[in-house]
Amino acid sequence: MEKREALYEGKAKIMYATDKAGELLVYYKDDATAGNGAKKGTIADKGIMNNKMTAFFFELLEKEGVKTHYISMPSEREMLVKKLDMIPLEVVMRNVAAGSLATRLGLEEGTRLSQPIVELYYKSDPLNDPLLNHYHVQILKLATPEEVAAIEKMGLRINDILTKFLKEKKVDLIDFKLEFGRYQGGIVLGDEISPDNCRFWDSDTHEKLDKDRFRRDLGNVEGAYKEMLRRLTGEER
């Protein structure tokens, strides 16, 4: 695999072309942002830890029959992935009221929901990623009704797999964001699964083990990421 020109740089990752047209190299950065970029900072070794945790989760999901863009992890900060035609939707799975959902619905943070909620957001920084319903998705021609149904079904399946697995690690999966793309006529999971886009709470203490520690100035941000990596892989950093 030969690394070539940078194609895109986001808040947390850089995408590079490779010598294979259907493969990309993802480089994970230590940069941290919150509030759609309003707050910026750095979390030491975040890129390394997120890369390793994402690879772990993708391998777990692949074993359960969920198709992902993951191919391999050439280095601690790099992931080789299939090139997807990304669907500009952020799919948020919610099991417990927290963050914007708690505010929107007037629920106390930590209230367990009677069933998982699937929310769709338009992936658009200029518009601040607005919440959408199925009608909006169709008007904007972001995905077909069949694709939306497949995405929501996959999201619920992923939620079920990860919720059960993490419970064994004494971690509650509060909510998390997924992104999907088209690949060879089907829908495939892309992006990442890490403390950057998930809310992880310790099952006993409810301590936050995710980027909320950065968003809310709770301190010990690096420690939370290290603890999640340790619980998943046994690796001590």
The model's pLDDT over 86-98, given as tens digits with 9 standing for 90+, comes to 999 999 999 999 9
Q: Is the pLDDT of residue 67 over 90?
A: yes
* Half-sphere exposure in the Cβ direction for 81 (13 Å, CA): 30
What gap in Å lies between CA 105 and CA 11, rounded to an integer? Answer: 29
- Work out the percent of the chain whose per-residue pLDDT is above 70: 99
Confidence of residue 236 (pLDDT cuts 50, 70, 90): confident
Confidence of residue 45 (pLDDT cuts 50, 70, 90): very high
- Work out the percent of the chain whose per-residue pLDDT is above 90: 94
What type of residue is 233? Answer: T
What type of residue is 19? Answer: D
Q: Are 165 and 176 in contact (CB under 8 A)?
A: no
Take residue 65 and report the two structure tokens written for it.
């029959």
**Is beta strand 23-28 parallel, antiparallel or unpaired with respect to 78-82?**
antiparallel
What is the SS3 assignment for 60?
A: helix
**Is beta strand 31-34 parallel, antiparallel or unpaired with respect to 23-28?**
unpaired
Please report the pLDDT score of residue 131 as a whole number.
97
Among 32, 68, 61, residue whose Cα is nearest residue 49: 32
Q: How far is CA 185 from CA 85, 127, 182, in A?
A: 10, 29, 6
Confidence of residue 73 (pLDDT cuts 50, 70, 90): very high
Residues 19-46 have a mean pLDDT of: 91
Q: Are 47 and 29 in contact (CB under 8 A)?
A: yes
What type of residue is 191? Answer: D
